[in-house]
Amino acid sequence: MNNVIYNQIRIFQSIAREGSISAAARKLEITPPSVSKALKLLEQHIGHPLFVRTTRRIELTDAGRQLLEQTLSGVSSRRLPGWSGSRFPASLIC
């Protein structure tokens, strides 16, 4: 799998787990703008928003929940089920 995509997925998972971009940035020890940019690039690659953002919170969309479910075990083993190379599962691509 492409290392850039892998890192974007790790950042995405951290945002989902921590509940905010700033909390994910602190946990990952990177800047909030870097986290935001990685999320934006992942969303562009997939073609779907992964979170609904408000000024006070961030929540997973249906596509975000699906991606989280499909990648949780795969990231720890660096093998994502149903993925070949850097391609996303067909169900996530618009």
Q: Is the pLDDT of residue 39 over 50?
A: yes
| DSSP H or E stretch at residue 68 | helix 62-77
Return the pLDDT at 71.
92
Return the closest-CA partner of residue 64 out of 84, 85, 79, 46. Answer: 46
pLDDT per residue over 50-64, tens digit each? 999 988 889 999 999
Interatomic CA distance for residues 10 and 28, integer angstroms? 9
Return the pLDDT at 27.
97
* Residue with more model confidence, 23 or 92: 23
Domain boundaries, the chain: 3-72
pLDDT per residue over 23-36, tens digit each? 999 999 999 999 99
Q: Are 92 and 61 in contact (CB under 8 A)?
A: no
Q: Are 18 and 30 in contact (CB under 8 A)?
A: no
Interatomic CA distance for residues 31 and 70, integer angstroms? 26
Distances in Å between the Cα of 7 and the Cα atoms of 14, 21, 55, 89 are 11, 15, 25, 17
pTM for the full predicted model: 0.78
Looking at domain 3-72, which CATH architecture does it have? Answer: Orthogonal Bundle (1.10)
pLDDT band at 1 (very low <50, low <70, confident <90, very high): low
